[in-house]
Amino acid sequence: MAKYRSDRINEEMRKEISSIISNDVRDPRITAMISVTKVDVTKDLMYAKLYVSLFGNEESKAETFTALKSSLGFIRREVGHRIKLRHTPQLMLELDTTIEQGMHINDILHKIKESSSNGDE
């Protein structure tokens, strides 16, 4: 039962944080596209790790990540208003590169497929 509750809290936090970042955070340094891929809340609901994926060039990614880190207090306050929990978790930001790694592997597989189809002719 507790696992089901924590999964619900994780998903609700992910939805609300995505909404807050896309609609409410007004920082001109945010230029890369942001996707909140996962939220892990600890069992005592004191900490939450946000996994975000950033799309853009390296400079815009770095600026966007810095801007997100500086706006974590605002995001936490908004989450506290939107989700009724006894304690609003302290937010920690982590960069998630799994989507980029998947795209890289897909490119490699596509190149292998092209080279093998060209070798058959």
pLDDT at 1 over 60: no
pLDDT reported for residue 37? 93
pLDDT at 120 over 70: no
The CATH class for the domain spanning 2-120 reads alpha beta
DSSP 29: T
Write out pLDDT tens, residues 34-63: 999 999 999 988 999 999 999 888 899 999
pLDDT reported for residue 2? 65
pLDDT at 121 over 70: no
Closest by CA position to 61, among listed 30, 37, 100: 30
Cα 88 to Cα 73: distance, rounded to the nearest angstrom: 11
Q: Delimit the domains of the chain by residue range.
A: 2-120
Write out pLDDT tens, residues 66-111: 999 999 999 999 999 999 888 899 999 999 888 888 888 999 999 9
Quote the pTM value.
0.80
* Residues 45/112, Cβ–Cβ less than 8 Å: no
* Residues 12/83, Cβ–Cβ less than 8 Å: yes
